[in-house]
Amino acid sequence: MKFAVIVFPGSNCDMDLYYAIKDGIKQEADLVSYKEESLEGYDGILIPGGFSYGDYLRSGAIASHAPIIKEVIRLAKQGKPVLGICNGFQILTEIGLLPGTLTNNRQNRFICKQVELSVENNETLFTNHYSLKEKIDIPIAHGEGRYYCDPETLQSLNDNDQVIFRYSEDVNGSVDKIAGITNKQKNVLGMMPHPERALEVILGSDDGLKLFQSMLETQKSEVQ
């Protein structure tokens, strides 16, 4: 499986994702500039955390107009797996691949700590290595991580099992303690916590590894 890690000006978790693929699941990965216009040959698209374009206007707003975005949207609509983490999640909402938006934490300050998540749906290509309702420890690092959507959208997310991860406690004021969601087709995942920073016990947790193993296992099954 070959992954593209999209790099914007201000990305700072691109290398974390790169090594999650190269060392974590022993697959191919390339750092791909936001200036590129083609993603041919890639089996999965990863959009890392950071502060694309310095988070000017609002997080992910400027990145949503980068040349590479049209290709990300095209491949997502073809069913290719697309994972956006932290700023990547913000970008996915800005470009309309995921509903809702991310806004300032309820505390109005940056939060960086280990949190507990509950796996709300383990039947997706991102979560099939987890157990339903499994509790996992994954770090967060964000200032604008509070997920918001209107009541109708929340109802739709719940009805379609699109809420994939919830915080066990209310860490930032997110609606319904949402930490990660997918699109209706379940091939696009956005999440604020950083699974790429939870690949080894020495880092505090290896609970993030199962997410990348799930993506790899799904691809192997489809090839067979």
Catalytic residue among 13, 86, 129, 149: 86
Q: Which tokens is 209 given?
A: 């590894």
Give the closest residue to 21 by CA, choosing from 207, 196, 219, 205: 196
- Per-residue three-class SS string for 68-107: CHHHHHHHHHCCCCEEEECHHHHHHHHCCCCCCEEECCCC
Sign of CA dihedral 154, 45, 28, 204: negative
Catalytic residue among 13, 120, 129, 194: 194
CA–CA separation, 101 vs 144, rounded Å? 10
Q: Which helix (H) or strand (E) holds 211?
A: helix 209-223
Residue 196: active-site member: yes
Q: Supply the DSSP symbol for 60.
A: T
Q: Is there a contact between 154 and 176 (Cβ–Cβ < 8 Å)? A: yes
Residue 36: active-site member: no
SS3 32: strand
Catalytic residue among 71, 120, 144, 196: 196
Give the closest residue to 128 by CA, choosing from 66, 45, 184, 211: 211
Instruction: Write out the DSSP string of 168-191.
Output: SS-SS--GGGEEEEE-TTS-EEEE
Question: Which amino acids are annotated catalytic?
Answer: 86, 194, 196
